[in-house]
Structure formats: C-alpha cells, structure tokens
C-alpha cells in the first residue's frame, strides 16, 4: 500500500510515521492482528513487540499464538494472564453494580479494554516501545476505550490503528495473508465473524449480523448451545454471595474465576445467555451484535434478585 494512503493524524496521540521505531502490538493471533504484525514491519519499517492478554477467552492455545507472532517477525512476544485482575477489579464491581447496558449487554468488552490498554502501556515501557498498535476499527467504541486510556496513562506514547489506515476489507486481508505467507486460523475457511470474548461473554459481528431482517444462523454460536439443541431436562443451580461477591456455586466454595467459568459452562450447556442486541455507538452508529453471555446471565440475575 502506498505510504501516502495513510490516514491523516487528527489527535495529538496518533503517531507520526517518521517517529515510529518500535511498536507494542496488541496481538490476538487472529486475522486482523496477524496481518497487522507483518504490515507494521513493512509500512513503518519498525520493530514489533507482540502482547497477548488472557482475559479468559475460551479455547485459546497461547503457546501457538506466541509461536505465530515470532514466526511473523515479532522481536518479542509476551502473554499475560490477567484473568484474576479482570475478574476482581473489573467484573466484580460490575456485578455489585448490576451493570448491564440496554437491558442485555453486560459490558464484557467495555470492561476488558481499559485493562488491556493499561497492560499495553506497562509492557510498552518495559520493552522500549514508542508506539502502541491496536486492531480496532473506526466504527466502534473500542478505539475510544483503548486510545483514551493510553493517552491518559502514557502521554509520551503514540498510537497507530492499522485497520483505520489500510483500507482493506476482510477479503483483502485474507489475500494479503496468503501473499505474505501468514497462517490464518481455520486455514482457507476463515471465520466470517469478528469475535471478541473473555470470561464474562462473547460478541460476534459481521456478515449477515448487520442485516436486521436476518435471523441468527447456527454457526455464530460457538459458546452457548442453541436452545433447540439444549438438554430437555432443566438444572437448578444456587449461587451464594458474601457482601455482593459470588463465593459458592451449588454449595461448593470457589474462587471468583473458577466460579465464573463453571457458571458459564452450565449456562452454555443449557442454552442460557443468547442476546440479539442493537448497540448505540459513541461514533454515532447503531450496530447489531450477537452476544453469548452464559456466566453473566446467571450471576447478574442472581445478584439482582438480592
């Protein structure tokens, strides 16, 4: 892509390409950030340090993600297990506040982004990076959450957002990955949805989801069992709280992260926690998301009943 195609900086924290030398990339191992890792090296002629944050995303193999980052040229790859901090410092206050947006969205992405940005600042400073890169698009709230956090905590660090710059759609990204030998999850069958998940929920965007007349298709549900396929027999569960903190499930005392994971497993098995939602975005858009929130659907409702 020609260098003159880059977006013009409109905020003081956005990076001047001439001043970008080492970039801390928030790296998930998915299509967007894998293309980004290679693209930053080529377009900015910069070194890249990859940072992957574990907030309880189900089914991830972090050794594979780390190996892929190094294969694509990262000079360092760090994997941070932030599940405990996320659960206690972000999710737990939300439970105590019965925090839910628009009667359906328990804010799992909104809660996770400031923590991810805070960790990006810490590791950027540790590794001598001058810039932080993220994979947010120009149409969502995440860009604001991450960039505002970075600008507040580390005004000396700059930000680049390649997805806002490069003008590639999903098919162009896949073509770029194939051209540059970038392994893609699923091989040739790339997932058609943009996914974000952690221990408090999962969201899916893209493809038919933005068509309001289109009923949810089966392949979008990768966490919660579709109700028509859930067990016919119900299951009664009991959650014990101590001063607003969930401390036991079905009589078994558990630490917060295992309790939330167990609640998610039970809810997902029984088809609990599917939300078809229209979100108002700070950039002025209304966007449809499909949420899978089995843990939140159980724990938040139980806490509200107190």
Q: Show which residues are catalytic.
A: 32, 113, 142, 194
What are the Cα distances from residue 81, in Å, to 10, 52, 55, 115? Answer: 34, 9, 7, 12
Residue 53 makes CB contacts below 8 A (sequence gap 6+) with: 26, 79, 80, 82, 115, 116, 119
With CA atoms as reference, report the closest residue to 132 among 14, 34, 30: 14
Taking the C-alpha atoms of residue 258 and residue 261, their distance in angstroms, rounded to an integer, is 5
The SS3 call for residue 60 is coil
DSSP one-letter code for 227: G
Taking the C-alpha atoms of residue 12 and residue 48, their distance in angstroms, rounded to an integer, is 22
What are the Cα distances from residue 242, in Å, to 96, 192, 239, 248? Answer: 11, 42, 10, 9
Query: Strand 286-292 vs strand 158-160: parallel, antiparallel, or unpaired?
Result: unpaired
The SS3 call for residue 24 is strand
């Amino acid at each position: 892509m020609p260098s003159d195609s880059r977006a013009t900086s409109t905020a003081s924290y956005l990076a001047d390409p001439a001043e970008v030398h080492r970039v801390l990339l928030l790296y998930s191992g998915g299509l967007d950030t894998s293309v980004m890792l290679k693209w930053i090296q080529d377009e900015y002629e910069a070194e890249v340090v990859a940072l992957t944050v574990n907030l309880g995303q189900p089914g991830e193999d972090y050794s594979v993600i780390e190996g892929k980052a190094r294969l694509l040229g990262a000079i360092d790859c760090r994997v941070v297990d932030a599940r405990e901090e996320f659960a206690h410092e972000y999710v737990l206050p939300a439970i105590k506040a019965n925090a839910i947006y628009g009667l359906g969205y328990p804010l799992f992405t909104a809660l996770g982004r400031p923590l991810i940005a805070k960790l990006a600042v810490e590791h950027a400073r540790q590794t001598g990076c001058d810039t932080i890169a993220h994979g947010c698009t120009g149409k969502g709230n995440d860009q604001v959450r991450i960039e505002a956090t970075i600008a507040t905590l580390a005004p000396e660090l700059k930000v680049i957002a390649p997805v806002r710059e490069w003008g590639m759609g999903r098919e162009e990204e896949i073509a770029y990955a194939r051209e540059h030998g970038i392994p893609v999850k699923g091989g040739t069958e790339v997932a058609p949805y943009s996914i974000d998940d952690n221990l408090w929920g999962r969201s899916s965007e893209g493809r038919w989801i933005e068509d309001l007349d289109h009923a949810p298709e089966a392949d979008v549900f990768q966490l919660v069992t579709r109700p028509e396929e859930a067990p016919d027999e119900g299951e009664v569960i009991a959650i014990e709280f101590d001063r607003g903190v969930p401390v036991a499930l079905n009589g078994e005392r558990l630490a917060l992260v295992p309790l939330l994971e167990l609640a998610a497993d039970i809810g997902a098995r029984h088809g609990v926690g599917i939300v078809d939602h229209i979100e108002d975005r700070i950039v002025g858009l209304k966007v449809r998301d499909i949420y899978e929130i089995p843990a939140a659907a159980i724990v938040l409702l139980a806490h509200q009943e107190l």
